[in-house]
Amino acid sequence: MRRPEPAVILRRAIRIEQHPKHPLYLFTLTASELLRIADVSRVSRDPAGALLGYQRPEVKKHVRNIAEYLNGDQVLFPNSIILALSSDAVFKQVRGPKVDPGIAEAGTLHIPLPKPGHPKPAWIVDGQQRALALAQCKRQDFPVPVNAFVADEVDLQRDQFLRVNNTKPLPRGLITELLPEVSTLLPSNLAVRKAPAALCDLLNRDPESPFKGLIRRSSQDEATRSSAVVTDTAVVKMLQDSLSSPSGSLFPYRNIASGETDFAAVRKLLLLFWTAVRDVFPEAWGKPSTRSRLMHGAGICAMGRLMDKVMGSIDIHGTKAPQLVRAELTRIKPLCHWTDGHWEEMGLDWNEVQNTPQHLRLLSNVLLRAYLNNRRTLS
């Protein structure tokens, strides 16, 4: 008679108390056990638009390469998988004298196996490609080193995911989606990008935003991504430049000392300017960058620099603000070639403009000089 499978995995483990609420465990799992207890938390959005998960999509070639190595004759696999364990996992300390000054405790970790239709008790924070490769390799009894911390909160899992991958080449779009959802103190290089990332998300979801549904995000399904025409990295760069430069139109709404941003005022300014852009250039708005360089990275960033100049003289709370912004943008419309023609001063056809520092400087310079010269002529 076949014995029923145990309801838990029992594993010798070391517990390290780094955080009073989130103990850290060091132990091993076999390749077959890893994905039995751990899920990959893919980044996506629910029907209400709230962000779910945090992991990038599977990189099939990378997974295949790791699996081929694991199928070799002599395999050394020291890279540990980092898991976030649910609080359902129980640690039982072994009795006996301690051999260190309380730095770590030995014991047995009880990890419950999930029942059919129920969530797994762990999530992979770092090592998803390695975990998928282990699931595909021939040797399913291969022992895998695991570091795990107890955390039911997705917020903490995202925080650790960003920190672990801070020096790795994570897709920039994925980082910009995750940053607004992390509430803990971030490294300085990530903290300065949090406000632009949050504003990018606002522009893509706000019903009054001309960008609504047009910004491509890592969490979108294929159908939604196909209708999105602007990369989130271009929008984030435009916002970050304006927020961080003293000459930026968004700079006055950011408190550098406290790190706080007046999002209500920033939202009003952004909607005023970019709604006017859409209205003044309707033939170029909402098209793929292959058909409109206005929606291209170079176009978004160059218009962002023009925004800094135009909005400096506009009272965003004034009743005539929308008409004034449209009037200012109309000044440059005759020289713009977003969808056809030739940019005379740059010596480039409309579709030759690329998202490079040189072309961005050229395009920004052309727009700003044309705007300032037109104002001088009329004044």
Q: Encoding tokens for residue 217?
A: 């995000």
Joined tokens for residue 108:
């047995």
Give tens-digit pLDDT for 231-250: 988 999 999 899 889 999 99
Q: Give the confidence band of 184 by pLDDT, cuts at 50, 70, 90.
A: very low
What letter does residue 340 receive in the DSSP assignment? S
Q: Could you report the per-residue pLDDT of 85-98, keeping only the tens digit for each?
A: 888 888 998 876 66
Annotate 42-105 with DSSP letters as a single string: B-EE-TT--EE--BPPP-HHHHHHHHHHHTSSS----PPEEEEE-TT-EEEEPPS--SSSSSEE
Q: Please answer whether residues 340 and 348 qualify as being in contact, where contact means their C-beta atoms are separated by less than 8 angstroms.
A: no
pTM: 0.56
**Strand 230-231 versus strand 215-216 pairing type:** parallel
Q: Which residue has the tokens 């930026």?
A: 248
Give the pLDDT band (50/70/90) at residue 360.
very high
Integer Rg of the chain from CA: 26
Kind of pairing between the strands at 51-52 and 254-255: unpaired
Please tell me the distance from the alpha carbon of residue 272 to that of residue 266, in angstroms, as a whole number.
10
301 vs 378, more confident: 301
State the average pLDDT for the chain.
80
